[in-house]
Amino acid sequence: MNIPLKRTVGYPVNENFFLFGPRGTGKSSWLAAQFPQSQTLDLLDSDLQIKLMAKPSLLESLIEKGSGTPHQPIIIDEVQKIPSLLDEVHRLIEKKKKYFILTGSSARKLKREGTNLLGGRAITCSMNPFSSLELGNQFDFSRALKSGLLPKAYLGKQHESYLASYVTTYLKEEVQQEGLVRSLEGFTRFLQTASFSQGSLLNKVKVAEESSIGRRAAEGYFEILKDLLLSIELPVFTKRANRKMVKHSKFYFFDTGVFRQLRPRGPLDSDAEINGAAFETLILQDLKAMNDSARHGTKQSEAWNADIYFWQPSQKKEVDFVLYGPKIFTAIEVKATSRLRKEDFSGLNQFHEDYPEAKRILIYTGNKSENHEGISIITAKDWFSLPLHKRL
């Protein structure tokens, strides 16, 4: 497969910005293509990291002549390695009128050390795995369902070995080397147990018990996943709620392939259960990627600027995703089935009783798209091939 020529990353033009995203999403490659003349300082370079960690004020002397303009911003890769460097970046923005792009695969150190992210002088943007829009006619639903959408996993021939290495790299480099957990063995058990919560209400006490770790440890581990951008926790939609709603958030590992790699399999594990969670994750990935790019994107995509929720009253009926924003209010149900039953519509129908103004979509793995009593039924194949403006 050929690598797509264009990533749909929403970013502000001629402004300073942060670009956060999990490792392996292609931040450095995209920046090199987007800003080919820019100077890049990679803080994964141990010599550079030691030098700037000892004396952040050396940054100014490292800037090449002509760098730091709106068209040639200075790129600092993996800025979370030296949080104190942001004070110097802040000074250079204010006093020298320099322009920067700061990338990171973790916000944990920046948060922990009270860094103010340049006092609002830089906008925060996101880099996600591939989206179906970016891949275009190179998008293969069956492949994406198995490999996920991290670029090297999706485009490579050995996605399973890459994903195994990816998980090990995070355990070794981000968790173990940073001393984020006391027991790597306990954290590994936690990751496997957490994978059973994919697409489900998050019960941290239950995960702690089944991982044989303490409740506080489990809560801390879930925070680590969020800080390393490895997980997504959706809040329940409660605006103008007429019913008693569940209180827990809904949990996902950020990528279908990473979820599959972490999910233990045995004789009692059904393919249908794993594939259902993987399909739901794939839809969420696509929604999040398009939504993040829309925040600083084109007018064509600005309608996607919304928050993503799920909806679930305590009566157990649910809607997988609710997109709510200035120009959008859409409920989406995802079903990994080729034949729909009456009960597959129950969550959307109940949602309609409370929110008749919302659009309703059901995405499934069948072969016929149609409308059914106000619900747009869309096959997975059609969903992933539709242009942006026709998806919602």
User: Average pLDDT of 182-195?
Assistant: 92
Residues 258 and 160 in one domain: yes
- Cβ neighbour number for residue 260 with a 10 Å cutoff: 24
pLDDT at residue 5 in the model? 52
Q: Are 301 and 293 in contact (CB under 8 A)?
A: yes
The last residue of one of the domains, among 209, 238, 272, is 272
Could you tell me the CATH number of the domain that includes residue 58? 3.40.50.300
pTM of the model: 0.92
In a domain? residue 326: no
Strand-pair category, 74-77 with 100-104: parallel
Residue 254 lies in a domain: yes
Q: Count of domains in the chain? A: 2
Residues 105 and 167 both lie in one domain: no
Does residue 3 lie within any of the structural domains? Answer: no
Residue range 108-151, pLDDT digits in tens: 777 666 566 676 678 889 999 999 989 998 999 999 999 999 99
Higher confidence at residue 315 or residue 365?
365
Among 158, 186, 160, which residue's Cα sits nearest to residue 171? 186
Predicted pLDDT at 365: 97
Tens of pLDDT, residues 16-39: 999 999 999 999 999 999 999 999
141 and 202 in a single domain? The answer is yes
Residues 287-333 pLDDT 10s: 999 888 877 655 545 667 789 999 999 777 899 999 999 889 999 99
Pair (157, 88) in one structural domain:
no
Domain span including residue 71: 17-126
Q: How far apart (Å, rounded) are the C-alpha atoms in residues 77 and 98?
A: 16
What order of strands is seen across the sheet that includes strand 74-77?
Answer: 40-42, 74-77, 100-104, 17-20, 123-126
pLDDT of residue 4: 47
pLDDT average, residue stretch 180-202: 92
pLDDT band at 172 (very low <50, low <70, confident <90, very high): confident
